Chain A
């Protein structure tokens, strides 16, 4: 049991996780509907397809951030005293923003994708009315504002406790030769996320505000290429950071389960500093087919996208393998999912790195290869970490125990997720474009494989969620006396 966390924050973490798990199921169902339509198993109008697509993208990134925030807050509370009011404000603003986004999509027919690429929202506003675009863009601003408040507060707390974000990232050990270990992994990761996500949110706020102004007064315009830079500086970094928040649980819990320390040594700190820098730089791989971008910037997109794979491959995932190796660790729901999530993260990074190669991107950009790689590390990485944390939370804060159905559900989820991402990657390999409501006959089979896999993934997610909610009943009320750890 985490005794350091404020009881109100503990309740708010439960709300974060409850909303995450329920929205996850809904968004997965949206994903299956899209695949079934592409696979000619059902028929919906293109307007509905693109509305669902917009909701799916926004919702999935949103809940990954929400679940990641719950993890970050829960574990950071062990080292830094945190005011639960900030987490509640973040949650309320999240719900407000999400409500506005849903109104935009399902009441005012907004369907311009979660990346709202300028000047598309303004063009759609001319055709379908401004309300949809205004609600969506404003909702995203509210959502972003909620996260920015959170990060500003966390920056202030880390500064107060550790003397600055630099020290929280271990700069005194890396650059000043200080001996020993850096701050706990939760602190290092939080510092990284504060820096990168605050930058992302400011970039996002700029393009969102500019798009809104453009809709209200079309005479005020923005350069589309600059807007695209800002959009992906926001979207890429924000989506990327969900895994950097969620991985805190892996560091904390695998160390607890194996009873081995996972300390922030110099290599660990260098890796996280590299991740901070590279994550800020590599969004340019989304612009590799914008030939007007300076060539040096695109080469940076390729080279640093490669380099960004190194911290996870060489330090985090390798560290997970090392800590589990010959540890006699107890394999249960949490440890299995966290172990597999590291596989999912690296497995997703492989096709991502390949696609960041400019010559490959030239024939694979915006094909289904792209959702293939990000579904791998989002679904088998971030979401696996969040679900693993849900069970860990119920186990440590309550008395949930591993059952046979949990082993079955994990196997169901991962086997069919391999099927889903395999179908995406194969479709990308045969040049099927992404974000098309209808597909040519040669692409349909891969969509059908994806849809069937998706149905079983939804089933697994429903079982995970049912188990989470059933376990919540005992949280806080029936914690066994002196129970301190989920591992034993």
Chain B
């Protein structure tokens, strides 16, 4: 969802920006008294500034309550009562204490690394990135995810870790709720 919001928001704001530049380019061929332009421009700028502040404040309020690493929030949503999985990144593999899950499982991934820093990126069956955290030696980062849909998920390394970075992939299977499919 956030990917789509990011793409549409970028296209929208860049389009507005392009319009502003095109308008000024068009107007650049006319002449005007600069002191008058400045006076008017500074007035408009106040509203423009307040508009930007309002957009930024709205985005801040809407998003800071949903931090992916907020343990209090995870507790409130019962995410920390699920399966705890230890994940260790090592050039170029992922070692996991559990590899098979069921749809509906709430999973707490405790992620670390044993050699260099890696990136734990969880992809769903459509290869859409759904959660991530860094896997850093000496630190354990906890990321929560609820497997709503069955299917084959993949963990990709998202922090450059040398020449085998792109082969650092692990498949994990999420079976349908109530057991594995007969197919």
Closest approach, in angstroms, between the C-beta of A461 and any C-beta of chain B? 23
- B143 within 8 Å of A by Cβ? yes
Bound CA–CA A369/B165 (angstroms): 18
Tell me if B60 and A306 are in contact (CB < 8 A): yes
Closest approach, in angstroms, between the C-beta of B23 and any C-beta of chain A? 9
A420-461 near B? 1/0 per residue, CB < 8 Å: 000001101111010111101010000000000000000000
* Residue among A117, A260, A428 making CB contact with B116, cutoff 8 Å: A117
- B121 within 8 Å of A by Cβ? yes
Tell me if B139 and A436 are in contact (CB < 8 A): no
Q: In the complex, which residues 16-34 of chain B have their Cβ closer than 8 Å to any Cβ of chain A? A: 17-18, 20-21, 24-25, 27-32, 34
- B150 within 8 Å of A by Cβ? no
Bound CA–CA A325/B130 (angstroms): 45
- A326 within 8 Å of B by Cβ? yes
Known: A123-B115, A225-B139, A366-B119. A260 touches B133 (CB 8 A): no
Q: In the complex, which residues 344-379 of chain A have their Cβ closer than 8 Å to any Cβ of chain B? A: 346-347, 350-351, 354-355, 357-360, 362-367, 369
Known: A322-B37, A359-B66, A366-B158. A50 touches B134 (CB 8 A): no
Binds A, one of B5-13, B80-88, B98-106, B173-181: B5-13
- B67 within 8 Å of A by Cβ? yes
Measured between beta carbons, the chain B residues less than 8 angstroms from A123 are 91, 115-116, 162
User: Closest residue of chain B to A259, judged by CB?
Assistant: B34
A108-128 near B? 1/0 per residue, CB < 8 Å: 000111010101100110010
Tell me if A260 and B34 are in contact (CB < 8 A): yes
* Residue among B132, B159, B166 making CB contact with A46, cutoff 8 Å: B166
Tell me if B10 and A351 are in contact (CB < 8 A): yes
User: Closest residue of chain A to B31, judged by CB?
Assistant: A328
Q: Count how many chain A residues have C-beta atoms less than 8 Å from C-beta atoms of the other chain.
A: 78
Binds B, one of A61-69, A70-78, A288-296, A397-405: A288-296
* Residue among B9, B41, B60 making CB contact with A354, cutoff 8 Å: B9
Known: A365-B132, A435-B160, A436-B165. A291 touches B3 (CB 8 A): no
Judged by DSSP, the binding face of B is: mixed
* Residue among B7, B17, B132, B162 making CB contact with A50, cutoff 8 Å: B162
Q: In the complex, which residues 15-50 of chain A have their Cβ closer than 8 Å to any Cβ of chain B? A: 46-47, 50
- A210 within 8 Å of B by Cβ? no
Known: A310-B52, A426-B7. A364 touches B2 (CB 8 A): yes
Measured between beta carbons, the chain B residues less than 8 angstroms from A228 are 117, 136
- A329 within 8 Å of B by Cβ? yes
Measured between beta carbons, the chain B residues less than 8 angstroms from A339 are 21, 25
Tell me if A362 and B2 are in contact (CB < 8 A): yes
Judged by DSSP, the binding face of A is: helix
* Residue among A325, A343, A360, A438 making CB contact with B2, cutoff 8 Å: A360
Tell me if A322 and B38 are in contact (CB < 8 A): yes
B134-174 near A? 1/0 per residue, CB < 8 Å: 10111111110000000000001111111111100000000
Tell me if B31 and A307 are in contact (CB < 8 A): no
Tell me if B28 and A328 are in contact (CB < 8 A): yes
Tell me if A295 and B116 are in contact (CB < 8 A): no
Bound CA–CA A290/B132 (angstroms): 10
User: Closest residue of chain A to B69, judged by CB?
Assistant: A291
Measured between beta carbons, the chain B residues less than 8 angstroms from A428 are 3
Bound CA–CA A113/B163 (angstroms): 10
User: Closest residue of chain B to A50, judged by CB?
Assistant: B163
Tell me if B17 and A369 are in contact (CB < 8 A): no
Q: In the complex, which residues 54-73 of chain B have their Cβ closer than 8 Å to any Cβ of chain A? A: 56, 59-60, 63-64, 66-70
Measured between beta carbons, the chain B residues less than 8 angstroms from A369 are 6
- B128 within 8 Å of A by Cβ? yes
Bound CA–CA A442/B13 (angstroms): 27
Tell me if A358 and B64 are in contact (CB < 8 A): yes
User: Closest residue of chain B to A438, judged by CB?
Assistant: B166
Bound CA–CA A223/B133 (angstroms): 18
Binds B, one of A178-186, A313-321, A381-389: A313-321
- B4 within 8 Å of A by Cβ? yes
Bound CA–CA A204/B77 (angstroms): 41
B residues with a Cβ closer than 8 A to A are: 2-7, 9-10, 13-14, 17-18, 20-21, 24-25, 27-32, 34, 37-38, 41, 45, 48-49, 52-53, 56, 59-60, 63-64, 66-70, 91, 115-117, 119, 121, 123, 127-134, 136-143, 156-166
Extra contacts besides A123-B115, A306-B60 (16): CB < 8 Å? A112-B162, A119-B115, A120-B161, A123-B91, A224-B139, A289-B134, A291-B133, A295-B69, A325-B41, A340-B21, A358-B68, A363-B2, A367-B158, A429-B7, A431-B129, A433-B158
A-B contact pairs, 15 of them (CB 8 A): A50-B162, A112-B160, A119-B116, A228-B117, A291-B69, A321-B20, A321-B24, A325-B28, A358-B67, A363-B128, A363-B130, A365-B132, A367-B129, A425-B7, A431-B128
A residues with a Cβ closer than 8 A to B are: 46-47, 50, 111-113, 115, 117, 119-120, 123-124, 127, 223-225, 228, 260, 289-292, 295, 298-299, 302-303, 306-307, 309-310, 313-314, 318, 321-329, 331, 339-340, 342-343, 346-347, 350-351, 354-355, 357-360, 362-367, 369, 425-426, 428-431, 433, 435-438, 440, 442
